[in-house]
Amino acid sequence: MSAKQKTEFELRRQIDEARGEYDKAIKSDAKISAVNKLTAEIKDLMGEQASLLINGAKKCQRCDNPPVGIKKSRGTYEIGCVNCSAVLPDDPEIVVFRSRGETSEEAVEKWNGGVFIGVGGNDLPAAK
């Protein structure tokens, strides 16, 4: 990680602070330009966070698009393809075209290795 790259915790704090400022602006008589500036700041921070979560992830093996990453809850991260998540994979045991891990790095490793979320939430390797 470079000295300039923020940590997940730092980004989460900045997003929360920006959302707090946004909420205050919406409830006040703030000018629309101020609200738009806060909206853009939140969007940029969330994009930076999403990039951090997929660091090292390969493109989707089905459609060649870059994956997206989310933190679902404490200790649960998912990496997946926006285009392919709604399409059931060819393997009937796999229910979603996403990978899950306790860290973003683990989710990326599973994604890159073709290990996806299967029936009952169990990890299953992709069909060959």
**Are both 73 and 27 inside the same structural domain?**
no
Q: Between 32-53 and 8-27, two packed helices, what is the crossing angle to 10 degrees?
A: 160
Q: How confident is the model at residue 3 (pLDDT cuts 50, 70, 90)?
A: very low
pTM for the model stands at 0.68
**Are both 73 and 115 inside the same structural domain?**
yes
Residue 59 lies in a domain: no
Residues 72-105: tens digit of each pLDDT: 888 889 998 888 766 565 666 666 778 999 999 9
Domain total of the chain: 2
**Are both 117 and 82 inside the same structural domain?**
yes
Residues 16-50: tens digit of each pLDDT: 999 999 999 988 888 888 889 999 999 999 888 88
Residue 36 lies in a domain: yes
**Are both 74 and 111 inside the same structural domain?**
yes
Residue 35 lies in a domain: yes
**Are both 80 and 115 inside the same structural domain?**
yes
**Are both 79 and 121 inside the same structural domain?**
yes
Range of the domain at 39: 8-53
Residue 60 lies in a domain: no
